[in-house]
Amino acid sequence: MVKNPTRKKQAKILRGFRKVHRTMGATLFVFFFIISVSGFLLGWKKNSFGVLQSNTQQGSSTKFTQWLPLDSLKNNAIFYLQKEVENSQTLEIKRIDVSETKGVVKFIFTEYYGVQLDGSTGNLLLLERRYSDLIEELHDGSALDTYFKTTGNPIKLIYTTLMSIALLLFTVTGFWLWLGPKRMRKRQ
């Protein structure tokens, strides 16, 4: 009986794909675990009953003409944060979100704190730990950029590039590991 050279070549390719698939799986297991769990949590953050992400509160006015100046609101946010959180002097504002339809201004600080103020009165509506921001940074790798205080997010870029390529290779090798044996049986 003469062995089919095409079948032999396909078997060799299959073994190579299996080896790449197995090696990548073993090497990147922890990273894929973090991405899958954090992705799941991010998908559910708005439906977590305020555990992962608090709901936006309601301010007293949705008209900008009745709101305090942004600088005054910023000073209020810093005041409320310093009043409630130890060592908050070192915290910086990462971003400011304005929700006109809710009448609220959110000040998001480093170290995952958030302050929601009524836009027209400047009163504190909510002071929270923003776990969803931490989960997002774990998910995309920027948590290491935050930890090492890098500029331009180089760790995030390397991490997302490597994980994207790995996921693509997993998809290709996994598909071939499923299809290859079917093709080999068909040609028998």
Q: What is the pLDDT of residues 19-53, one digit of tens each?
A: 988 898 899 999 999 999 999 999 999 999 989 99
pTM of the model: 0.79
* Lowest model confidence (mean pLDDT) among 9-18, 51-60, 91-100: 9-18
Residues 152 and 176 in one domain: yes
Domain count, the chain: 2
CA nearest to 38, candidates 141, 121, 111: 141
Domain that residue 14 falls in: 5-45+137-187
Asked if the model's pLDDT at residue 151 lies above 80, the reply is yes
Q: Considering 95, 110, 129, which residue would you say is the last residue of a domain?
A: 129
Residues 124 and 71 in one domain: yes
Residues 39 and 60 in one domain: no
What local confidence, expressed as pLDDT, does residue 62 receive? Answer: 95
Residues 41 and 83 in one domain: no
Asked if the model's pLDDT at residue 102 lies above 60, the reply is yes
Q: Considering 87, 108, 129, which residue would you say is the last residue of a domain?
A: 129
Q: How confident is the model at residue 3 (pLDDT cuts 50, 70, 90)?
A: low
Residues 115 and 141 in one domain: no
Residue 120 structure tokens: 């027209």
CA nearest to 11, candidates 184, 188, 175, 170: 184
CA nearest to 114, candidates 137, 139, 133: 133
Element (H or E) spanning 109, and its range?
A: strand 104-109
Residues 83 and 114 in one domain: yes
Residues 35 and 87 in one domain: no
Q: For residues 4-11, give the mean pLDDT.
A: 79
Residues 124 and 141 in one domain: no
Asked if the model's pLDDT at residue 2 lies above 80, the reply is no
What local confidence, expressed as pLDDT, does residue 188 receive? Answer: 67
pLDDT tens digits, residue range 109-141? 988 999 999 999 999 999 999 999 999 999 999
